[in-house]
Structure 1
Amino acid sequence: MFTSCQDEVLDITPIDETQTLVAESQLTSLISATSKNDGSKDNIIDGTTCISVKLPVIVKVRGIEIRIDSEADYIKIKRLYDEFEDDIDRLDIIFPITIITGNHEEITIENAEQLSEIIAACNDDDDEDEEEREIRCIDFQFPIAFSVYNRDFSVIDVVNIENRRQLYLFMKRVKNSEVIASLNFPVTMVLKNGTTLTAENNEQLRRIIEAAKDNCEVEDFSKERLENYLKKCPWVVYEFKRDNQDNTSEFEQYAINFKEDGVVIMRSRNGDMLTGTWGLRPTRRGVLLKMEFDNLADFTLEWLLYDYEDGKIKVYEEGGNKIVLKRNCEVVVNITKERVENFLKECLWRVVELDIEGVDDVEDNYIGTPLKFFENNVVKIRVNGELIEGTYQVLVRNAGIGLEITLDGRPELKLQWVINFLGENKIELKNENNEMVLRRHCPDNDGDLNYILDVLVSSSWEVSLYKDDGIDETQDYFMYTLDFIETGRVKVTDPNNGIFGGSWLAFRNDGYLKLALNFGTQIPFDEFNDRWKIVSITPNRIELLDISGSDGTEDILVLEKKS
C-alpha cells in the first residue's frame, strides 16, 4: 500500500501535530468505523447488515435461479418478489458462498446452517464498543491520501486509498501504532442521500461523521421520519404469519391506525376496536416495531422492519413470524352505523364486483346501472334511464355493521352483507360465501365527465367501426342510430324504425375515463355490454377500447356523429 514519492513534488500542508491520527483518538475510531464493510446493501439476500455476500452468487427465487454479478442485479430479486403479491417472499442461496465480515475478512460458507450460525452470532454481538460499530450512512469519496511521517514528523511516504477495505487496513495500522499519519485535506464525504460535504481539517471531519452517525443510526430508516410515515395513514393487513402458521385468512383486511403518544388502534373485519401501544426502537439489526395488545397476542411482539417501500411495510421476527402491511389513506378505521348511512347518501354508487356462491362476474348485470341512497331508507337503481325504487337498511350485527338492499328482481343485494372495508371511494362487503364491492360515483364536480355528457347528448350517433377480437363486425350495426339521454338511457333506433333502449354511464376509474354500456339481451347490441375505456372523444367521434380476454385481445368500438 505504500507508494514512494521521494522524487515527486507533493502539495501537502506542513505538519501540525494536532492534525495527526493516533491510536487512541476519537477521529481514528470514527474513520475506522466508517471504513468497515457495509453489509446493508445486500440485505435482500442475507437479511443482515453485519455481513455481505461476495459476488457473484447464485440464488433461487420462486424456483428461478438468478446469477447476481453486481449490486445492480439486486433489482432482479425484488422484481420477482413483487410479481405476485399473494405469496411469501423466499430466497434460497446456492452454496458454497463467500461472505465478507465487517472487518473485511472473507469466510467460505458451505451451507445454510453455517450461515445462520454466523448471522446469529454477529446480530447478538453487543460487546463491541459504540465508537467501533460500523457507520454505514456516510462514506469517503475515494480516492483519498494519507501522509505518513517518521518520529521527527517528516513526510516519508504518501498512501493512496481507493476503497473501504484499503482504508480499514490502513486505519488498523494506525490503531496499532505502527504508523503516524494525517489525511491530506480537503476530503469529500458522501451521505446516503448523495449529499456531499467537504472537510478542510480533522475537526471538521470529526463533526461531519458524528453528525451523520447521529442522524442515521439505522440503515435506510430515520426513526422520526418512519414514525411520521406510520402515523400519516391507516395500514391494512395483507399477509400474516405467526409461529410458522399462515393466519392471513384470519387477519386479512384488519386495519391498524398508529396514533400519537404511542397509541395504536386496530379494527377487525367485524368492526371490533382494539387499543394497544406501539413504539420504534433503533438497533444494530435495524428498526424494531413493538406492538402490544391485551387481547390480541398474535400481534404482540417486537417486529423487525426488513422491507420498506412506498405504500408497503414488511416486518418479521425469528420463529416464522411475518406481517405485510399496506398503507391505505382512504380506509376508515372506526366504522359506525351513522357514518355508513351518511356516506351512502353522498353520491351514486356503482356495483363493481359481485360474486355469489362462487359465481363470478354477477356485477355485469349492473353495468351502467348505479344505485342512489336517500333519506328514510329509500334506495333507487337507474335502469334504462328509469329509477326503480326499493329500500335499504344499515344494521348493527354481531359480526359488524351490515347492509341490506331490497330491490325487485335483485335478491342478491338483500343478502346479509357485512362491511369489512370502508374507504373514501369504496365499500367492501362480505358474508359467508359472497362478496360485493361498491364504488362511489360523484360526477357533478368532474369537468371531464361533464364534457362527455355534453358531447353524448348533443347529437345522434352511429357505429362506424366495431372489431370483436380483431374481427370486423361493423356491418351488423348498419343504419342503427343511438341517442344518449341525460337520464342515463340510450335509445336505439333500428333500420326498420323499431326502438329499444339500454343504459349508459360515464365514470372515472383508477384514473381512466370509461363509458359503461348495457343493452341487456338485445341482439346485436348485447355485444356492447361492457365498461369501455374512452380512448378519445370529440364532438364528432368517440373511440372506445376493451381488453376482452386474459390473452390481451382487444375489442374496438367507434361511434361517429350522425350527419
Structure 2
Amino acid sequence: MKKLINNLLYAGLVVMAFSFTSCQEEFEEVAGGNDQETITANSSTAQLIEKTSSNDGSFDNIVDGASCIALKFPYTVEVNGIQITIDSREDLHTIEDIFDEVDVDEDILDIIFPITITLADFTEIVIENKEQLRELAAQCLEGGDDDDIECIDFVYPITLFTFDINNQQTGEVVVESDEDLRKFFNGLEDDDLVSIQFPLTLKKFDGTEIVVDSNGELANALEMAKDECDEDDDDDFNDDDFDEERFDFCLTQCPWEVREVVRDNQSQTEQYLEYIMTFAEDGTVVVKDREGNILNGTWTSSFTDRGPLLTLEFDVLVDFNLEWLVYEIGDHTIKLYAENGNKIILKQLCEDDPGEVPGPDTLREILKECEWIIKKVKNQGEEIDRLLGFEFKFLPEGVVTLSNGITTSEGTWEIGYNNDQVLSLLITMGDEPGVSFEWPLRDLNNTRLRFEVEEVDYELVLLRVCDDNASDGDVPEIRNIMMGGAWNVAMYKENDMDMTSEFAGMDFNFSTMHQVEVSVNDDPISAGIWRVIRNHDNELKFFLNFGDEAVLGELTDDWYINTVDSNRIELIHEDENSTETLVFERP
C-alpha cells in the first residue's frame, strides 16, 4: 500500500494519478519509452536524489550531536548554568561563546523539554525527554554523521513525472524545495516509476553550477559530489569551516597579539604576552617583543581533515616552533594546539596599527568615556592585591576618583609626555600612593589599557566598564544570582592541594555596591570587594578582593566564571605556576 502523503500537493498528485488510470485514452507515452527515461523509486539514482534533498541537521550539532536531526526553533537550553532561548541559527553562536569563555572548563548543556525535532525526511516529532532524543540521535551514523549529500544542491523548480508499469504517464508535479522533493519520493512505492524533466541545474558547494541532461549524468554528478567538501557533520563546533585560502587571508590581513602560550603543559604566557606577530603573504613572519625588538621567522599552512595546520619556524622563539592545529578561528581570535600540552592563543589587531600611539586628546576622551577597573597594580615587582577591583573615574577638570564601592579617594590626573616622549598618565592621589605615579602607556585597545615602567617593574592594567555592564545580559543575571542569599565554599583547590576545610563554617553574602561580607554563626569576620564583569577578551570574570588576610586573602584574584546556576558557581584562575578552582554553593 502506498505511504500516506501529508502534504496537500502530493495528495493532489495521487488523486491526479488515479484520474489518469481511470481513463486509458488520457495516457501520454514517453518518447522512446526506454529505461533511461525513467527510474524506479528504489533505484540508486533515486537514493542519491533523496540524500541530496534530505534535511541537514548538522548545523545544530553543538546542541544535539546528531546530523540526522535538527531541533525546531524556538527552544530553550541551559549552557553552563545560563538559560538562553535559541530562535535562529545565529543564536547557536552564543552557545559556542559561552563554551569558549574558559578553555579548561567542562561544558554542560541541558535542553529544556519538550522540543520538536525535524528528521532527514522533514518529518516533525515532539520529544518529551533526554532519553527519547538520545535514542533518535543514536540512529545517526557513528560520530554524529548522516548519509546526506551536502556538497551539491538542486536548483529549483524541478518538474517530475510519474508512470505506470507500461511507461505511460500518470501524473506531473513541480517541486520548489528540498522538502518538496524529499516528500515526493517518500510518497512512492519502491517499484513506482519516475522521470525528471531535463536539463537540470545543480549548484556545487563552491557556488559553481553544472547542467545535466540525463539520469546518468545526474547520478554521476551527485555521486562525485559526495566527498568534495567538508560537510561539517562532526561535533567539533570550533572548526569554523575555514578553507586554506580563507585561512591564509585571515592570517595575513592584520597583526596578531600573543595572549597565551603553553609549552609542554607549562605556561610561558608571561614571557610572550603582548608580542605582536605580523604574517606576510611571502611566508615570512615578523615578531615585535614588548621592548620593540624584531624577531624574524617563517610560516607555512596546509589543510587536513582536521582543519588548517600552521607551521612556525624561528631561530630564537623556539617555543613557537611546531606544527600547530588551528583549533578555533572566531571573533578575531585564533587558537593553536599541538599534542602533549601545547597551546597558543592570538588576538587580531585590525583596528589600529600596533605601533601607533594615540595622541593626548584621544587618550583623555577614552579615559573619560567609562569607568576603569584595576586588574593589576605592580610597584617594584610587588602586586598590590588590596587594589584589585577598585574603580577609577576620570572626570573633567582633571579630577580622578578611586572607589571600592563604599569609600572613595579623590586626586588629580593629566595626560602628557614623559622625559622619553612616551604618552603617559600622571595620577596624584595623596591617600593612595599605590597608584600615584607617572604611568607610560604601553598598550591600548577598546576595553583595556596597560601602563608600564619595565626598568623599575611598575605596571598598571585597567579594564573598561561602561554603565557597570548593565547592558550585558549575563553580567546582571549572575550578579542577581549571587545576591540571592548566603553562599559557602564547597571547594577550594590549588593544583592537587585541597584547602576547602580552611573556609568551613564561613557564610559569604554578596551585596550591592560590590561588597561581600563573610560571617561565622552570623558574626561578621571580614569584608571585601566582588565584581562580575566582561573583560577585553569577551570573557566573564569574577573579581574577589579580601586584601592580604591570612585565609581569605587566598581568594583574592580575578577568576574566570566556569559554570554558574542558581545554586552553584565554579571559578577558575590560572597562571604560570598553578591552577586554582573555587566553588561556591548555597547551603
Compute the TM-score of the two structures, normalised by the length of structure 2. Answer: 0.45
Larger relative contact order, structure 1 or 2 (CA cutoff 8 Å, min sep 6): 2
Larger Rg: 1
